[in-house]
């Protein structure tokens, strides 16, 4: 008899986390301190990017953050953009900075990422934060991998000693997720296999069924099929792809990298698309902004983390 997977409801979890942040921000502001402040820089008019940024700004408002959306034309030069980032780096009333990707071709994303102060890098992409994350030191963690691990923790899914197969090696999701899943602590302590676009198809079909936890982030709709998942596995689908669908008013449907219907009959837990990992990414962005605020204000939680690190 086929299993019916439990849904990992990222939308509900993200609301829970936002409410926790909201309560903490309320305490902060009632004590007479200013609210955390997030700045988002949007270059150009890409519709998807505008939608993502609007969602982030609405979420800031919900939890009680101050927020600033700085729009720049797609013709902005790289140096002009970097100068804008430096301005916010130097502003003591700004706690977190994000530059929405993708950027126009004439701008190098790595230069932009490296210009943001690590202590204000709430996306968790700066090389300093990636290095600290790798060493399991306190830092601002990459938002999407952090959201995945938070989901595993809140659903009480064991990871210690489990085989985790990560499909995709991007610097934003796949690579940091593989590191975080193998680190000490919980969630973590997993045996991790990472696959990517150069992994032969037959090898991918051999490796995936070994996974107790399968995390997929490649941007290929329906890549992972039911025969690639063992019964009872936990499946985390990070992919979000626009697929032509004439039955929809928009003309397209959102699909993940996992063939949801058949896979959900074999998995024990599975994320939906949309409503799975996406909302968790925004929640972790907010959490990072709050942590960055605490770091800049010398609040006890981060001071204790740092003290524990060096003792």
Mean pLDDT within 180-208: 96
Residues of the chain with CATH 3.40.50.10860: 32-116
Third-level CATH fold of 32-116: Rossmann fold (3.40.50)
- pLDDT, residue 1, reads 41
Contacts of 266 (CB under 8 A, 6+ apart): 2, 3, 5, 226, 229, 230, 231, 232, 233
In the set 9, 18, 56, 237, the catalytic residue is: 56
Is-catalytic flag, 110?
A: no
Over residues 32-58, the pLDDT tens digits come to 999 999 999 999 988 889 999 999 999
Q: What per-residue confidence (pLDDT) applies to 300?
A: 45
pLDDT at 248: 81
Per the annotation, the verdict on 50 as an active-site residue is no
Does residue 100 carry a catalytic annotation?
Answer: yes
Q: How confident is the model at residue 298 (pLDDT cuts 50, 70, 90)?
A: confident
Catalytic position from the list 95, 121, 123, 257:
123
Residue 105 DSSP one-character state: T
Q: State how far the Cα of 198 lies from the Cα of 125, in Å rounded to an integer.
A: 24
CB atoms within 10 A of CB 46: 17
DSSP H helix total and E strand total for the chain: 11, 11
Q: Which helix (H) or strand (E) holds 65?
A: none
Name the catalytic one among 18, 84, 95, 100: 100
**Model's pTM, two decimal places?**
0.93
The whole-number average pLDDT for the span 106-124 is: 97
Class of the domain covering 142-278: alpha beta
């Amino acid at each position: 008899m086929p299993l019916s997977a439990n849904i990992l409801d990222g939308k509900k979890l993200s609301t829970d986390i936002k409410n926790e942040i909201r309560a903490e921000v309320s305490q902060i502001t009632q004590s007479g301190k200013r609210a955390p402040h997030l700045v988002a820089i949007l270059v150009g008019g890409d519709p998807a990017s505008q939608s993502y940024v609007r969602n982030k700004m609405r979420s800031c408002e919900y939890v009680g953050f101050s927020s600033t959306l700085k729009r720049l034309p797609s013709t902005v030069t790289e140096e002009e953009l970097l100068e804008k980032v430096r301005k916010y780096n130097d502003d003591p009333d700004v706690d977190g900075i994000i530059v929405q990707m993708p950027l126009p071709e004439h701008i190098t994303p790595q230069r932009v990422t490296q210009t943001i102060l690590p202590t204000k890098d709430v996306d968790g992409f700066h090389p300093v934060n990636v290095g600290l994350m790798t060493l399991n030191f306190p830092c601002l963690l990459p938002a999407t991998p952090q959201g995945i691990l938070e989901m595993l923790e809140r659903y009480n899914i064991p990871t210690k000693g489990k085989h985790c197969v990560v499909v995709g090696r991007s610097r934003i999701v796949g690579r940091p997720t593989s590191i975080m899943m193998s680190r000490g602590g919980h969630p973590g302590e997993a045996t991790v296999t990472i696959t990517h676009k150069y992994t032969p198809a037959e090898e991918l079909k051999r490796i995936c069924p070994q996974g107790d936890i399968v995390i997929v982030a490649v941007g290929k709709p329906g890549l992972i099929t039911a025969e690639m998942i063992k019964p009872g596995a936990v499946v985390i689908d990070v992919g979000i792809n626009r697929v032509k669908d004439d039955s929809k008013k928009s003309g397209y449907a959102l699909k993940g990298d996992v063939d949801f219907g058949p896979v959900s009959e074999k998995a024990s837990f599975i994320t939906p698309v949309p409503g799975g990992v996406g909302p968790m990414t925004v929640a972790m962005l907010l959490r990072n902004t709050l942590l960055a605020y605490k770091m800049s204000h010398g609040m006890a939680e981060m001071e204790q983390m740092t003290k524990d690190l060096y003792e």
